[in-house]
Structure formats: structure tokens, C-alpha cells
Copies of this chain bind each other. A is one copy, B any other.
Amino acid sequence: MMTDELAENLSKELRHLVLLLRRAAAGQPITSQQYAVLGSLQDGPRRMTELAEEHGVQLPTMTVQINRLEEPGLVARGADPADARVRTVELTDEGRARLVAVRRARIAYLSDRLGALTQAEREAVAAALPALAKLGRP
């Protein structure tokens, strides 16, 4: 297999990316997961099932996540008028503000880190992003 060597190298580097992610999230008022969930809500209300699927977790996990975002008022639960079993979730104004602030901080951090690369390295990262995105969602 031609891809085996690449797979091996990719496997080694995934750990570094986890560390990068940890550092990018450090010191922020919400966790990386909470940020991701808020991001899913920015274009309007979603149902629990959708959110769970989108984030690759089971429903109970999403219930817990949403509980923890609801408690400080970052999201609000609603109901689907067409189906009383369904709970919808949407951003509050405060949640939206938080999302924007955290996004800004994250981008600033990554931008700073990217600044430590050479121009060629940045271009290589940019060129690989679509493929990495594709890898992540089977």
C-alpha cells in the first residue's frame, strides 16, 4: 500500500495537533467542546439529535453539554410546535457574544502560531485543509 507510510506519519502528527488544540483552548471561558457546540447554533435553532450527530457523540452526551451551556444562559431550549418530543436549542444573545469572543481569541492564538511558520509552511497547511476536512468525516 502506497498510503501506509503517509498513514504512519499522519498518525504520529495527530498527537501534536491535539496539543495545539489544547493550547488554543487554554484559558478561555468555555471549553473546546462547548465552543464547537455554540458554533453549530450560530445559524439558528437545532434539535438535540442533529447536534449529537454533527459532533459525533451520543444523545445523552449532548444533553449534558447543553445542560451546561443552558445553566449559565448561553443557550436556551425551545420546543418544536410540530412534534412535542423534539427539543430545540438556540443561542441566547449572551451565547452569541461569547461565541464571537472565543472565536476571536482562538483565531488570534492560531494566527500567532502560524506566524512562527515560514510562508511555504503556511501555504502547505492551507493546501492541505480541504483534504484534512475530508479525512475527518466519513
Residues of B within 8 A of A130 (CB): 121, 124
Known: A127-B128, A131-B121. A110 touches B11 (CB 8 A): yes
Query: Which residue numbers of A lie inside 8 Å of B, CB to CB?
Result: 1, 3-4, 6-11, 13-24, 36, 56, 103, 106-108, 110-111, 113-117, 121-122, 124-138
B7 near A114: Cβ-Cβ < 8 Å? yes
Pick the contact of A128: B4, B15, B113, B128 (CB < 8 A): B128
A114 near B3: Cβ-Cβ < 8 Å? yes
- Copies per complex of this chain: 2
A135 to B135, CA, bound (A): 19
Residues of B within 8 A of A129 (CB): 9-10, 13
Q: Tell me whether chain A's interface is mostly helix, strand or loop, or mixed.
A: helix
B11 near A24: Cβ-Cβ < 8 Å? yes
Known: A3-B111, A138-B113. A21 touches B10 (CB 8 A): no
Given contacts A7-B106, A19-B56, 12 further A-B contacts (CB under 8 A): A1-B111, A3-B115, A8-B107, A9-B126, A10-B125, A11-B107, A13-B133, A16-B132, A18-B18, A23-B56, A122-B131, A124-B130
